[in-house]
Amino acid sequence: MTDKQGLLKGKCFFYGKVRKKKKGKEESLFAIATKDGCDTLVQRAHLSKNNHFKSLILGGVDLIAKEGEYHGSCRVQFMHETERHDHKVATPHDLHKIAFSSLSTFVQTEIIQNGKVLFMSSLLELYKAEYSGSGGDPKEVVTYNSQNLSRKFQYRFGDEIRIAHADMRRGNYICKASFTDEQAIAKLHDDFKEYEENAKIRYAALHLRSQIMKMPTTKTPDPTTVQNLKETAPEIPQQLNLFFRTLLGGLTPTHQDTLERKVTSMASDAIFNVSHGTVKQWKHTAMGLGLASLTGSKLSLQILNRAGHSISYNETRGLETEFAYSVSFEGLDAPGGIRLLPNRATASVWDNNDANIDTVDGKGTLHSTVEHTYQNVLPEDNRCAASTAKEYIKERNRKSFVGNQREIVPFRKPLKSAKFTGMTTSTVSRSTNRRTKEETNLQLKQLDLYWFWELRKGKTPLYAGFMSQYASDPLPIQRICYMDPIPKSPTDNAVVRETMICTMNVAKETGQDWAVVTYDLAVVTYDLAVALKAYSIQAIEQPRFDKLLIMLGNFHTELAFYGAIGTMINESGMEYILKEAEVLAEGSMMGFLKGKFYNRCIRIHELLANVLEIKLHNRFLQDLSQEEYESFRDLMDAIPREQSKVEDHLTDPIITQHLQKYEEFFHSVMDGSHGQTAQFWAIYIFLINRVHREVQRCVKMNDVDGYINVFPAMLNVFFALNRPNYARWGTLFLQQLRSADPQLHKILADGAFSIRRTTKQYSRSAVDISLEQTVNRDALSSLRGIVAFRNSESAVRRWSLTQSQRAMAMTELRTFAGLEVGESAIAQCLPSRIKKDNSQMRGLGQKIEEFCNPFGNNAPTTLVNLATGRAATKTTEEYLVQTMMRGQTDRDKFLDEWNKDSTRFLKPLKRLRVNNFASKTKNKKEKKARGVQDVISNAASLKDTFIRIIVVVSENSIFDLRHFLTYPITQYPLSLAHADGAHLKTAKSALLKKLEGLQTDVPTDTPMNCARVYDGGRLIHSILSLVNFGTTFGSIARTVLSTVCNGSGSEVYVCLDKYIENSIKDSERQLRGTVNTVYTISGPDQSVRQKGQTLLSSSSFKNELGKFLLREWQKDHYWSLLNGKTLYASHGGVCYKYTPNENQQIHVSSPAHLQANHEEADTLIAFHLENITYNAVIIRSSDTDVLVILIGFLGKKNLKERTRSTIIMDCGSGNSRRYINVTNIVNVLEERQPGLSRALLGYHAFTGCDFTSSFYR
C-alpha cells in the first residue's frame, strides 16, 4: 500500500494505480495539499464502496503527511459516488392531489364524454381506493365524505357536470350538465348496474395496486452479486400471488411447477409496471442479465423493457459494472457472498474458459482461468442474513470500471524435478480395510433389484429418477460464489501455482481464529491437464502445499471412462443397432464412442446396459425352477407402494437368496461360462451398471468412502484401454485421497466432495461440472466477443471479471424458465421422459433380438459382431474379454515399479496396441492406403535380387541349383507376381479392346425406336461418386430415375446386382476393400452421412439401396420423371414393371416371366434381352463380362435371328464414350470360325477369372 519509506507518493491513493489514461492520454498525479480537502475525503469515506481507500482512512493514515497523490478523474468519481441525495417522501396532501387527479380523469372520460350517470358514494369509494393505491394510509381518508368530493368536482368542472339528489336511500348522483332529471334517473339504474359489475374488479385491482405501491424501491446491494440480487429481491405480496394463482389455475390447479413459474412471472410483471420500474422483481433482473449474456443485443433488451418484462439495457450495464467492482481483487481471495466462518465444508474448483477469445488481428487474445468457491448453507446463516441489515449502494450504478489487476509471480522450476513416493503398505492396508461392498451395500442392491424389476414393466424412470424417490441427502444445499478470474490459460505453471495459493488463502480466510482443527486445510478440484501440474508443484514446493488436497474432477474423469468404453465397443455392431433402433443418430456416433458428450453418453449407455441386463436376467430366470420363479415374482409384485415399507419388504430371504444367485450367475457369465460373446457384453454391463452407476451414486450421495472403493475399477479400465494419463495420475490421486488428513476427509464428507444446488433428493453433481454448466456454457454470447472493446484495458478487465456473474445470471434465468439441461433426476421422472425412455428401450431390445441376442439360447459361443455376425480374430477376442484382468495386471505392475523406483511415476506408460473390432478394419484401410512407391521401396527388385543370389551361389559353390529351384520361396512364383509379391493378373479390359477392334460397322448414333438396358451397378457408382454430404436418398432416387428415362426409346430396363453371403465373389470383393457394415435406408428423407466411395464399399448398403429404389419409384410423384416410358427394375430376384397412366399415377406390376434370381447384373441383362421384342437394344455398360456374355448369347442364334435385331453397347464415359456394335462383332467371329462366339464364353471363364495369373513383363 506504501513504499519503503511508508509514503503514498507515486500512485493514486484512491485506487492504487500508478498510471492511468484518460481519452488516450496519460493522466497526471496531483498532491493533496489542503487540510479542508483532506477532511472532505475523510468525512465521505464511509459512503464509498472503495475498500482500498476506506482501509487507508479507517487505518488513520494522514494523507498530507504521507504525501498522498491522486488522479483528477479518480477524485471526481469518488466525489460523485459519495454525494447525498435525499429522496422526498410524499405527504398526505400530495397523495390527495394524486387521487383527485386520477378520479378527475375518470369523471372526464366516463361522465362527461361517455355520458354515464353514477352515485357520488361510488366515486367516493373509488377516491379512497385510489388514495390507498398511491401509497396512502386508508385510515387517513376514513372521515373524508362525498360532500368534500362534490365541492372539489364543482370547482374543477364547473358547468360541465350536474350533481343532484336521487332519493333518501341512495343519495346524490353526478351526470353531465345537459341531462335532465328524468334522463339522469332513467339512465342511473343501467349505469349503476354496469358499474357494480365492474366495481368488483376495479376495487380488487386498486387494492392490489395499493399493496404494490407500498413496496420499497429496489436498491442495489453492496457487494453486488447475482446471489445478493436474488436474496434482496422483494417478495410478491401474498394476495397478489393468490390473485394470479386463482386466475391461472382456478381452485384446483394442476402442473404445479408450470403454474408457479407463470404466477411468479405475471405477478412480477404487475409489480414492475405498476411501480414504473422502481420495484424490480428477481424475474426482471434475471431476464435482463441473462438475455444480455445470451444475445448481447441492446435492441432485444429495449423491446423487453418497453413491454415490461425486463430491466433496461442501461440498468443491466450498470449492474455488470457493479459486479466487476464487487468481484475484483481487493485484499481477500474469498469471493463475495462466502461466509468467513469455519465448519462449512468450503472448497474451490478451477477450470479453463476459452470461449470468444479470438480477435481480428490475432493480438490480445483472452484466455481465462475461472474459479468458484462453494460452501454449505447452514440454518444459522439464513437467520443471520435475515437479522442483519443489508448494505446498499446509495447512488446510481456506475457504467465504467477502473480496477486493479492481480499480479502473478512467475514459476520457473522444471516440473520434471518433482518426486512422488509410491504407495506404502500401510496406505494399502488402510484402503483395503475400509468398508466392503458386500457388507455395506446389501440394502442398495436390494433397492436396485426392485428398480430393475419395475423397469421391466415399462413405467419406471431411469435409475437416478427412481433413486430420487428413495434416497435421502441429509447435507445442506450449498452456495456458489465466483472469484476474480485470472486472464491467462490455466495450464500456465505460474497460474496453476497462483490458483493453489488462492485456494489456501480462501481456507485461511474461512477458518482462521475460529477453529484450529480446520485451519489451513484446503480442497481444490481441477481437470487432469491442470491437476498433473498442481501435483508436481505441490511435490516441488513441499511443505507449503502439504495441507492442500488436490482432487481430480469427476466430470472429466467420467468422460475419459466413456471414451475407454467406446474403444471397447467400437465396431462391435452395437452402435449400428443403436442407430437402427433410433436411439443414437448416425451423426452423433463418433462423439458417443469418444465420450465427447456427457449427457448423451450417460443416457445411451444406461439404456443399452439396462436392455442387455434385462436379457441377461431373463436367461438367468430360465435356469430357475418354476417354484422358485413364481415365489420370487409374487413377492416382487407384492411390494407395497409406500416408500417407508419398501425397504422392510426387500429384506425377505427369498429376495436376498435370488440376489445372491443372480450375482453368482452374473460373475460366471463374466468368466466365460456362456461363451465369449456373452462374456464380452456381461463385462460391458458390469462397467456401466456396476462401476459407473456406483461412481455416480457416490457423487450424488457425497459418499467419499464408496468412491475410494470403486475408483480402482475405473483405473483398471484406464490401464486396459489406453488412457495412460488418467491411469497414471488417477493412481496418484487415489493414493493422496486415501492417505489424506482425516480432517480433509471430514471436509469432503460434510459436502465438499460434490455440489448440491437444489433441495431435491439425489441431485448432487460433480464439482467440475458446475463450472461447465455455468461459466463455460452460459457466460458468453456466441454473438458477442471482445473485438469491439479489446483496445480498452478497463473494458476487457470488466468483461473478464463479470463473466462468472453473467454465467450465474444465465443459469438463474434457465432455472426460472424451467430449462435446466442435463440428466437430472427430476427430468427423468417427467411422464413424457419416462414414456420416451421405456419406448426406446423396448425398440432397442427388439432390434437386438433381430440381430443377435448375446445371452440367448442360440447365441454364438465365440465373440462376434452383433450386427454382421462376423467372428472376431483370436487376438481381438483375447484383448476384449480380458479387459478387466489386463487392467488389474498392468496397474499392479505399475504400482510395483513405482514402489521400487520413485522416478518411475513421471515416466510415461506404454500405450498398448488396440485390438478391438475396429482395428482389423483400420489395418485393412491402412494397408490399402499405402502408395505403390512405399510397396516397391519395401520389396523393390525382389526378382533381380533373387537372380543375383543364384548367380553368386552358382559361382562359389557346387550346390545343385536345379534341386534348389524346385521349391517355391514366395506365395506366388516371381514370374506371376508384382514386385511386392502380390498376385499379377491381366486386366479384363484388354479383351474388350481386342473384341472392339473386330467391328466392321461402327455405329455413330442410336435409333429412336429402341429399348434401353442399364447396368445398375455402374449407374449407381457414377451417381454416388458425385453425391455430397446431406443429400437425401429421395434425391438420389430422382436422379437415377431421371437419368435412365431421359434417353430415346419407350422401354427402360434397370438391372441391379444382388449381394449374398458366402458368394464366390467374396474374395475379390474383399480385395477391392469391401466392408461388412450393416446399413438401413429408412426412407427418402434420410440423408447421406458418408462419402460415396465409402458407401459403395459396403455390400449391405448396395443391397439396401436397390430395395429402396424399387420401393420408392412406386410413388405417384415420380410419374412425370418416367416421360411416358415403361420401366422395368430388377433386384434380388424381384422385377417390377412401372407403367404411367393418364391419371398421373404409376401402375406397378410383377411380370411372372421376368422374375429371375441372378446374383450378377451381367447375366440379368442377358436374361432381359431374351424377352425384349424391339429391333434395337441399347445396353449401357462398360463391363467386359457383359460384352462377352452378350457375344455368347447372340452366338447361340443363327444368322437370320441375329440380323432381326441390333444390339449396341453404350460403353465408356466422358471423352472415351463410344458405341460397340455387338451384333456386328458376333457376325465377324462367326465368319472367321463358326461357333467361335459361343466358345468365347468358356475361354473367358478361365482367362477372365479373378484367380487367373498373368506373366510378369
Please state the three-class secondary structure of 394-445 as a single string: CCCCCCCCCCCCCCCCCCCCCHHHCCCCCCCHHHHHHHHCCCCHHHHCHHHH
pLDDT tens digits, one per residue of 608-652: 999 999 999 999 999 999 999 999 999 998 888 777 788 788 888
Residue 371, phi then psi, degrees to nearest 5 = -145, 145
C-alpha neighbours within 13 Å on the C-beta side of residue 1054: 26
Q: Is residue 364 part of a domain?
A: no
Percent of the chain whose pLDDT exceeds 90:
32
The answer to whether residues 853 and 896 belong to one domain is: yes
The answer to whether residues 312 and 457 belong to one domain is: no
Domain boundary among 1163, 1197, 1222: 1163
The answer to whether residues 231 and 294 belong to one domain is: yes
Checking phi first, is residue 464 left (phi over 0); if not, alpha (psi -120 to 50) or beta?
alpha
The answer to whether residues 129 and 209 belong to one domain is: yes
| Residue appearing with cell numbers 509410491 | 422
Q: Is residue 778 part of a domain?
A: no
Domain boundary among 213, 246, 265: 213
Quick one: pLDDT at residue 1080? 67
How many H-runs (helices) and E-runs (strands) does the chain carry?
Answer: 54, 20
Among candidate residues 769, 813, 794, 771, the one with its CA nearest the CA of residue 295: 813
Examine residue 543 and say whether the peptide bond preceding it is cis (omega within 30 degrees of 0): yes
Residue type present at position 824: S
Q: How far apart are the first and last CA of the chain?
A: 90
The answer to whether residues 593 and 624 belong to one domain is: yes
Which cell goes with 620?
438367468
Q: Is residue 1254 part of a domain?
A: yes
Q: Is residue 767 part of a domain?
A: no
The answer to whether residues 717 and 573 belong to one domain is: yes
Examine residue 223 and say whether the peptide bond preceding it is cis (omega within 30 degrees of 0): yes
Does the model's pTM come out above 0.85? Answer: no
Quick one: pLDDT at residue 910? 85
DSSP states of 537-600 as a string?
A: HHHHTTTTTTTEEEEE-HHHHHHHHHHHHHHHHTTSSHHHHHHHTTSS-GGGHHHHHTT--HHH
Q: Is residue 568 part of a domain?
A: yes
The answer to whether residues 76 and 110 belong to one domain is: no
Checking phi first, is residue 751 left (phi over 0); if not, alpha (psi -120 to 50) or beta?
left
The answer to whether residues 1021 and 1135 belong to one domain is: yes
Domain count, the chain: 6
The answer to whether residues 1033 and 1157 belong to one domain is: yes
The answer to whether residues 126 and 196 belong to one domain is: yes
pLDDT tens digits, one per residue of 752-799: 999 998 888 888 999 988 766 554 444 444 444 444 444 555 676 677
Among candidate residues 1051, 955, 1057, the one with its CA nearest the CA of residue 1016: 1057
d(CA 241, CA 82): 38
Which cell goes with 253?
390447479
Q: Is residue 172 part of a domain?
A: yes
d(CA 1014, CA 195): 86
Q: Is residue 1079 part of a domain?
A: yes
The answer to whether residues 695 and 572 belong to one domain is: yes
Could you list the residue range(s) of the whole structural domain that residue 67 is in?
Answer: 21-81
The answer to whether residues 223 and 311 belong to one domain is: yes
CB 1037 within 8 A of CB 1114: no
The stretches of 1113-1198 forming alpha helices (DSSP H) are: 1161-1170, 1184-1195
pLDDT tens digits, one per residue of 1192-1249: 988 888 888 887 889 999 998 888 889 999 999 999 999 898 889 889 888 887 776 6
| Long-range CB contact pairs, 893-899, < 8 A, 24+ | 894/719, 894/727, 894/728, 894/731, 895/422, 895/423, 895/731, 898/420, 898/422, 898/423, 898/731, 899/422, 899/423
d(CA 127, CA 103): 6
Among candidate residues 1134, 1137, 1131, the one with its CA nearest the CA of residue 1149: 1137
Q: Is residue 110 part of a domain?
A: yes
Q: What is the mean pLDDT of each run of 10 residues along the chain (1257 residues)?
A: 60 82 81 80 78 76 82 84 61 86 90 90 87 81 87 90 84 90 86 79 83 87 84 90 88 78 92 91 91 84 92 89 74 78 89 56 59 85 57 75 76 90 53 47 83 89 88 88 79 92 90 49 93 94 92 93 94 88 87 89 94 94 91 89 80 90 94 93 95 94 93 95 93 93 92 89 87 52 46 64 74 78 66 89 90 86 82 89 93 92 88 83 47 44 66 72 67 68 72 89 86 91 82 90 88 90 59 58 75 80 90 92 92 92 92 88 90 91 91 86 87 88 92 89 77 62
